[in-house]
Amino acid sequence: MSTRILLLADTHVPKRARALPDRVWRAVDDADVVIHAGDWVDVSLLDELEARASSVIGVWGNNDGPDLRSRLPEVARVAVEGIRIAVVHETGPAAGREARCDAAYPDTDLLVFGHSHIPWDTVTPNGLRLLNPGSPTDRRRQPVATMMTAVADAGRLTALAVVPVER
How far is it, in rounded angstroms, from Cα 142 to Cα 76?
A: 27
Per-residue pLDDT of the chain (167 residues; tens, 9 = 90+): 899 999 999 999 999 899 999 999 999 999 999 999 999 999 999 999 999 999 999 999 999 999 999 999 999 999 999 999 999 999 999 999 999 999 999 999 999 999 999 999 999 999 999 999 999 999 988 999 999 999 999 999 999 999 999 86
Chain mean pLDDT for the chain? 97
- For the question of whether the overall pTM of this predicted structure is more than 0.95, the answer is yes
How far is it, in rounded angstroms, from Cα 85 to Cα 72?
A: 16
Give the total number of structural domains in the chain. Answer: 1
What pLDDT is recorded for position 23?
A: 97
Q: Which domain holds residue 24?
A: 2-165
Contacts of residue 100, defined as CB under 8 A and 6 or more positions apart, other chains included, come to 91, 92
Question: Helix H segments across the chain?
Answer: 22-30, 43-52, 66-69, 97-104
Q: What is the CATH number of the domain that holds 33?
A: 3.60.21.10
Q: What pLDDT, in 10s, does the model give residues 120-164?
A: 999 999 999 999 999 999 998 899 999 999 999 999 999 999 999
